[in-house]
A and B are shown apart, each in its own frame.
Chain A
Amino acid sequence: MVATWTPDQPIVQCVEVRKSFGALEVLKGISLSVRKGEVICIIGPSGSGKSTLIRCINALQPISSGSIQIEGIEVTDPRLDKLALRRKVGMVFQQYNLFPHKTALQNVMMAPIHVLGQKRAEVEARARALLAKVRLAGKEDSYPGELSGGQQQRVAIARSLAMRPDIMLFDEVTAALDPETVKEVLVTIRELAEDGMTCLLVTHEMNFAREVADHVYFTDRGVIVEHGPPETLFTAAKDERTQRFLSQVL
């Protein structure tokens, strides 16, 4: 297919995305779009399909019907070069998923060297700068097992950033962290957003969504119940389900 995408079009465009696991339909027609530089938060109760959606966007799971386009490339295309697609998309997981046999610095350097074939010296300088940016200067030679959850998650963010993605996906990245360390990770994401990185987050951090997001989607049982800018969604939710959820978590 001919890529006719231009930067003023949405980076991510989901149209009527449906996804079933056997008889269970977890996504029942999700449509959303993310434009360049936007920070989008998806909130909602557990089991509402938020994480599944974000994994489908990264082609980690196939969708049953509908369409997901990343910069105009159809993710559902069977001839899709998934690896090429994923170079545009950075992903950070709830459980960090660092490579335990490599140091923080090596974790960040691996993909640019082996996947993009970039020069080691150049990559190393960039990796050190990225670790400094996520406030981990001095931890370059630590192994993941020696780092706290918050530190590991920041290494994971640096690792994704090293691939210079156009968009970052965050899948409940603070859900497994201690309350004290949640903040340091959120600060890192906020700084990223302020630098103009396009971010799509699935999160339970309502204050973060309220302060940083440009647009918030509320999902429940596989559908988008309501969406809008945070100031209206958080203060003047129209749907009864949204109101109930927000009253529980705020």
Chain B
Amino acid sequence: MKTAEPVHRLAVLLPYRLAPTRMSVRISPLSAAILCFCAVMAASTAWAQTAPTMLSPLQVIVKWSPLLLRGFAFNILISLLAMLLGTVAGLGLGLALLSQYRLLATASWFVTQFFRNAPWLVLLFFVMFLVPFQITIFNTTVPLPDWIKATVGFALPVMANVAEVVRGAVRSVPSTQWEAAESLSFTRRQTMWLIMLPQCIKRMLPPWMNIYALVAMATVLASIVGVSEMLTLTAQVHAAEGGRPELFAPLYGFALLCFFLYCYPINLWTARLERRFRVR
């Protein structure tokens, strides 16, 4: 029999609920695009007061957009590769964190904490300046271009964060699942790969996507170490156009727009997945 809605005579502390990540201001990608377009247009009025022989900011952007967008594609490539590398390494590190061998678990805990709590830019500098520009394996010299080193530099914090996500997700599975698997004679490794991780994928997806959006935005740091990604190219375009001050906002605004249009849908989708998986 169903009982009626309980009447609380006493003050009751309701269970605490974790609120999902939510954007404080909701902007659709379309209106964001319009907004940025307006910003560019506003800058054009500044240009209207200068000499008419020069290209308008919009014309400058259109003129250079193939180059700039190629730079942006490079950012995406770096972020995807860093994510791939970092995820594979992070899965390994996460499993090591969960290892029943004390020494391995402790060592990987230190590695995780070190890379999670180091500024990304410092890690990037470390990799850039400590890794040689080429390595020789069996008399074959493999060049290591800057962008590859930068990718590795970004993969390190990704690894540590993914490891933490894996550890947290596996820990969140009730221990009774381990017992059930144990009583069916599954080995620890089988339990992990056949029972724990498949159950965790859903739980790991939103935080994993969150990490990706952060990496995508962080790739511009590579401009500091001279990788020809979008921000580097934007600065070069600005210089090539004579460093006109009125071009500053439109050019960098264009870069902002590109990143926004790429990362915002990812975050939107992450928030949606979080809401969907919160149940249960």
Interface-centre pick from A89, A93, A100, A159 (highest chain B CB count, 10 A):
A100
A60:B194 contact, CB within 8 angstroms: no
Please name 5 pairs of A and B residues whose Cβ atoms are closer than 8 Å in the assembled complex, sorted by A.
A83-B185, A86-B184, A87-B185, A90-B183, A93-B176
Do B176 and A97 have beta carbons less than 8 Å apart? yes
Central interface residue in A91, A95, A101, A160, by most chain B CB within 10 Å: A101
Contact A99 B179 (CB under 8 A): no
A residues near B185, Cβ cutoff 8 Å = 83-84, 86-87, 111, 115, 163
Residue-by-residue, is B255-276 near A (CB-CB < 8 Å gives 1, otherwise 0)? 0000000000000000000000
Complexed CA–CA distance, A115 and B182 (Å): 11
Contact with A along B172-191 (1 / 0, CB 8 A): 00001101111111110010
Q: Assess whether A110 is in contact with B194, with CB atoms less than 8 Å apart.
A: yes
Q: Bound state CA distance, A115 and B179, in angstroms?
A: 15
| A98-115 interface with B by 8 A CB criterion | 98-101, 110-111, 114-115
The secondary-structure label for the interface of chain A is mixed
Bound Cα distance A100, B203 (Å)? 14
Are A163 and B179 neighbours in the complex by a CB distance under 8 Å?
A: no
User: Within 8 Å CB of A58, what residues of B?
Assistant: 183
Taking the complex as formed, is B106 at the interface, i.e. its CB lies under 8 A from any CB of chain A?
A: no
Q: How far is the CA of A177 from the CA of B274 in the complex (A)?
A: 31
> Contact: B176 with A95, CB < 8 Å?
yes
Tell whether A60 pairs with B184 under 8 Å between CB atoms, given A101-B199, A114-B190.
no
Smallest CB gap from B187: residue in A: A83
Bound CA span A86–B184, Å:
7
Contact present for B180 and A97 (CB under 8 Å): yes
Task: Decide: B186 and A101 in contact? CB cutoff 8 A.
Answer: no
A111 to B186, CA, bound (A): 7
The CA-CA distance from A100 to B202 in the complex, in Å, is 12
Is B243 in the interface zone, CB < 8 Å from A? Answer: no
Interface Cβ pair total, 8 Å cutoff: 51
Contacts of B176 in A (CB 8 A): 93, 95, 97
A-chain residues with CB within 8 Å of residue B183 when the two chains form the complex? 58, 60, 86, 89-91, 93, 160
The residue that A114 contacts in the complex, of B177, B186, B199, with Cβ under 8 A, is: B186
A116 to B198 alpha-carbon distance, docked (Å)? 21
> CA–CA, A114 to B187, complex, Å?
10
The verdict on A111 contacting B199 (CB below 8 Å), with A60-B179, A93-B176, A97-B177 known, is no
- B190 contact set on A, CB distance < 8 A: 114-115
B186 near A115 with CB under 8 A, answer yes
**Is there an interface contact between B199 and A159, defined as CB atoms closer than 8 Å?**
no
Interface size of B in residues (CB-CB distance below 8 Å): 16
**Contact indicator B186/A99 (Cβ below 8 Å):** no
The main secondary structure of chain B at its interface with chain A is helix
Which of B182, B187, B195, B198 interacts with A60 by CB under 8 Å?
A: B182
Known contacts: A99-B195, A100-B199, A115-B190. The answer to whether A160 contacts B179 by CB under 8 A is no
The complex places the Cα of A90 from the Cα of B177 at a distance, in Å, of 15
Min C-beta distance of B3 to chain A, whole Å: 15
The winner among A95, A97, A160 for most chain B CB atoms within 10 A is: A97
Which residue of chain B lies nearest to A110 when distances are taken between CB atoms in the complex? B194
Using CB atoms, name the residue of chain B closest to A61: B179
B204 to chain A minimum Cβ distance, whole angstroms, is: 13
> Which of A99, A159, A160 meets B177, CB within 8 Å?
A99
Distance, CA A160 to CA B186, complexed state (A): 12
Nearest CB in chain B: distance from A11 CB, A = 16
CA distance A163 to B187 in the complex (A): 15
Is the pair B199, A86 in contact by a Cβ cutoff of 8 Å?
A: no
- CB contacts under 8 Å to B, within A145-189, are 159-160, 163
Nearest-neighbour CB distance to chain A for B100, whole angstroms, equals 13
CA distance A87 to B194 in the complex (A): 18
Q: How far is the CB of A227 from chain B (nearest CB, A)?
A: 26
**A119-159 vs B, Cβ < 8 Å mask (1 yes, 0 no):** 00000000000000000000000000000000000000001
> Cβ of B187: which chain A residues have Cβ within 8 Å of it?
83
- Chain A residues in 8 Å Cβ range of B177: 97, 99
Residues of A within 8 A of B199 (CB): 99-101
Report how far A32 CA is from B68 CA in the complex, Å: 79
A97-B195 in contact (CB<8A): no
Give A115 to B199 CA distance when docked, in angstroms. Answer: 19
A13 vs B199: C-alpha distance when bound (angstroms): 37
B184 and A115 within 8 A (CB) = yes
The residue on A at minimum CB distance from B194 is A114
**What residues on A are CB-neighbors of B184 within 8 Å?**
86, 110-111, 115, 159-160, 163
Once A100-B199, A101-B199, A110-B194 are accepted as A-B contacts, the answer to whether A93 and B186 lie under 8 Å apart by CB is no
Write the nearest CB–CB distance from A182 to chain B, whole angstroms.
18
Additional 6 contacts, C-beta under 8 A, given A83-B185, A97-B177, A99-B177:
A83-B187, A98-B180, A101-B199, A114-B186, A114-B190, A115-B186
